[in-house]
Amino acid sequence: MLQFKTIFISLFILLMSNCISAQSKADSISIIFPKVLVMNDKKQVLLSFDNNRKAFEVPSMGTIDGPISYKSYIDSDAKDMGIKYTNFRLGGLFTYIFPTEYSTYIRPYFVVKFAQYANGQNLADSSYKWFSFIEAVNEIPYPASSKIVEKILFQPRTVWGATFEEFGYTNPVDKSKIKFKILEDFFKLN
């Protein structure tokens, strides 16, 4: 009986260790991480400053966790920015693949039409700043995001898709350390 228990426990441990270490691409996790590209009538884009990375980027509240609609997500993001908007649309749906991890980020980019400041005067948070379209594309240090913003701003009648490999971020951002590759070039989704 003792031999049976020893064999059973050994097999159980062996099976569990194989299950734990046998993660494959099929087991990967896809995280939804929306971006909110706010535009005004002056052909400007609102970017947010990330204090950790010391860089401007397209605003986001982070990943979608729990039951929330895209509209609720954008409403919350607009409230945090201190703005009101008239409407929003999908600008594109992008995939970021991380080759050293079994994870994928799905990044919908929403284009939000600015209406007014919530307080009637200015942005609620000084970490947000308006940039012209060209300034915004040049200011964003992340290659994929910069290319996405350029595509959405300068070819707005198309909903875009693409797949990127991008990693190697540092705090603060060192553009020379970011590894970037286009896996699937831009394509039309509409």
**Strand pairing category for 29-32 and 179-188:** unpaired
Note whether 85 and 154 are within 8 A (CB): no
DSSP H helices in the chain: 2-21, 70-81, 133-139, 143-154
Element of type H or E holding 131 = strand 128-132
Report the pLDDT value the prediction gives residue 29, as an integer from 0 to 100.
Answer: 73
Any domain includes 34: yes
Report the pLDDT value the prediction gives residue 6, as an integer from 0 to 100.
Answer: 44
Any domain includes 6: no
Any domain includes 152: yes
Report the pLDDT value the prediction gives residue 3, as an integer from 0 to 100.
Answer: 52
> Tell me, what CATH number does 177's domain have?
3.90.79.10
Number of domains in the chain: 1
- Structural domain including 177 reads 27-188
Residue owning tokens 């995001």: 145
Any domain includes 76: yes
* Measured distance CA(169)–CA(180) in Å, rounded: 11
Spell out the residues 6+ positions from residue 77 whose beta carbon is closer than 8 angstroms to its own. 36, 59, 60, 61
Any domain includes 20: no
Report the pLDDT value the prediction gives residue 125, as an integer from 0 to 100.
Answer: 86
Any domain includes 135: yes
For residue range 150-160, what is the model confidence (pLDDT) as tens digits? 999 999 999 99
| Cα 173–Cα 96–Cα 135 angle in degrees, nearest 5 | 50
What predicted TM-score, i.e. pTM, was given to this entire model? 0.84
Any domain includes 129: yes
Report the pLDDT value the prediction gives residue 28, as an integer from 0 to 100.
Answer: 60
User: pLDDT tens track of the chain, all 190 residues?
Assistant: 555 444 444 434 434 444 444 445 555 678 999 999 999 999 999 999 999 999 999 999 989 888 889 999 999 999 999 999 999 999 999 999 988 777 899 999 999 999 999 999 998 788 999 999 999 999 999 999 999 999 999 999 999 999 999 989 999 999 999 999 999 999 999 8
Any domain includes 7: no
| Cα 41–Cα 33–Cα 150 angle in degrees, nearest 5 | 40
Residues in the chain: 190
